[in-house]
Copies of this chain bind each other. A is one copy, B any other.
Amino acid sequence: MIVALGGGIGASKLLLGICQVIDPSELTVIVNTADDVVLHGLTICPDLDTVAYTLAGMADRERGWGIEGDSFNALSWLDRYGREAWFNLGDRDLATHLHRTALLRQGLTLAEVTDRIRRSLGIRTHILPMTNQRVSTIVLTDQGPRPFQEYLVRDGARHAVRGVRLEGVERSQPAPGVLEAIEAAEGIIICPSNPIISVGPILAVPGIRRALKMTEAPIVAISPVVGGRSLKGPTDRFLAGLGHEVSALSVARLYQDLLDLFIVDRSDSELLPAIEALPVKAFTADTVMQNLEAKVSLAKETLSSLASL
């Protein structure tokens, strides 16, 4: 059993590759939920949905979010009613949020709802939210605190990041199955996701970081920073905003108490000595997953590196 931690596009790309290499049911993904947002009365879980839609083969590849070929007719009418329409909601995607919200109101936990959705979509990989409780990433910007989606989507990530607060994280608990999956894992992968706002919240749920430190399973991370830039999303701004150098080395530092191995892009090979000096064992690979072949290739290297440990 392989366990992966992450959220968002970078993680989903790698997960898609992993599912080509091993039996998808042998993979458990622990997903960030601190980006979740309630809009129009609906509980929206962008990272959970990106992972599910990607693994179901229905993610929109162009946009990087939502369902391929989706329409946006409900959204245009929500706008007509004067509702906040800055958060893109496709019509098919809306069905996911309606279903999830209705089940949560019936009393199901987010983990139970997530499992129902992945079964309905024919996904064999286990998908676990990091927690069943509400945790919210608040971005502390030069314009004041902003809930994550407002910072990212509504305000277009244009305000300078000064810090991050994870509201509710102290009171949260790992969702059922999370600690068990980590304990039972043969190998653990920290996906190339934003270390501050995607992997960070997962590690901040009380008990998860400790379980990762305690497990005997090898842990490998892949840097989301390549050549001093984040491939996708505002990782660079978060690293810089929190006083870190924008480089794979900073990512290695953030995870160094957990890692057995760190994978950086070939273009960052000059960072290897500094990473090894942390000390974190590291190697290079092609981490820019432009197509399925590249995803499978990185997945193979990642999995075989775990097997070698």
The residues of B that contact A105 with a CB separation of less than 8 Å are 41
Quick check: is A150 within 8 A (CB to CB) of the other chain?
no
A99 to B82, CA, bound (A): 9
Quick check: is A76 within 8 A (CB to CB) of the other chain?
yes
A272 to B114, CA, bound (A): 64
Stretch at the interface among A27-35, A67-75, A132-140, A204-212: A67-75
A120 to B82, CA, bound (A): 8
State how many angstroms separate the Cβ of A108 from the closest Cβ of chain B. Answer: 13
Quick check: is A83 within 8 A (CB to CB) of the other chain?
yes
The residues of B that contact A157 with a CB separation of less than 8 Å are none
Residue of B nearest to A121 (CB): B80
State how many angstroms separate the Cβ of A53 from the closest Cβ of chain B. Answer: 11
Q: Are B120 and A95 in contact (CB under 8 A)?
A: no
Q: Are B102 and A77 in contact (CB under 8 A)?
A: no
The residues of B that contact A80 with a CB separation of less than 8 Å are 95, 120-121
Q: Are B101 and A41 in contact (CB under 8 A)?
A: yes
Given contacts A81-B120, A91-B91, contact A42 B73 (CB under 8 A): no
Quick check: is A40 within 8 A (CB to CB) of the other chain?
yes
Q: Are A99 and B117 in contact (CB under 8 A)?
A: no
State how many angstroms separate the Cβ of A112 from the closest Cβ of chain B. Answer: 14
Residue of B nearest to A39 (CB): B102
Residue of B nearest to A100 (CB): B81
Quick check: is A96 within 8 A (CB to CB) of the other chain?
yes
Residue of B nearest to A92 (CB): B77
Q: Are B78 and A99 in contact (CB under 8 A)?
A: yes
- A54-108 at interface with B (beta carbon < 8 Å): 70-71, 73-78, 80-83, 90-92, 94-96, 98-99, 101-102, 105
The residues of B that contact A74 with a CB separation of less than 8 Å are 74, 91-92, 94-95, 98
A95 to B91, CA, bound (A): 10
Residue pairs across A and B with Cβ atoms less than 8 A apart, 20 shown, are: A40-B102, A41-B101, A71-B73, A73-B91, A73-B92, A74-B74, A74-B94, A74-B95, A74-B98, A76-B92, A76-B95, A77-B94, A77-B95, A78-B95, A78-B98, A81-B96, A81-B116, A81-B120, A83-B102, A91-B94
Q: What are the 5 closest A-B residue pairs judged by CB atoms, nearest first?
A: A77-B95, A73-B91, A91-B91, A41-B102, A81-B99
14 extra A-B contacts, CB within 8 A, seeds A41-B105, A70-B73, A76-B92: A40-B98, A42-B98, A73-B92, A74-B74, A74-B94, A74-B95, A74-B98, A77-B94, A77-B95, A80-B120, A81-B96, A81-B99, A83-B98, A91-B94
